[in-house]
Amino acid sequence: MSMLAGKTILVTGATKGIGSEIVKALHAEGAEIIGHYGRDEASARQMLATWPERLQLVRADLSHADGAATLWQQATDLADNIDVLVNNAGIYCASPLDSTEAWQQGWQANLQVNLQAPADLCRLAIHHYSSRGGGIIINMASRSSHRGDGPEHLAYGAAKGGLLALTKGIARGYGDRNVLAYALAPGWVRTAMAEDHIASVGEAAVTANLPLREVTPPSDVAAMVAFLASGRCRHATGSTIDITGADYVR
DSSP code at position 18: H
Q: One of 37, 129, 156, 182 is an active-site residue; which one?
A: 156
Does residue 156 have an active-site annotation?
A: yes
E strands, 122-222, are: 135-140, 179-186
Give Dmax over CA atoms of the chain in angstroms: 56
CB 216 within 8 A of CB 196: no
Q: What is the C-alpha separation between 73 and 9, in angstroms, rounded? A: 14
What are the CA-CA distances from residue 79 to residues 29, 38, 74, 76, 137 (Å)? Answer: 19, 20, 9, 5, 17
CB atoms within 10 A of CB 80: 8
Catalytic amino acids?
156
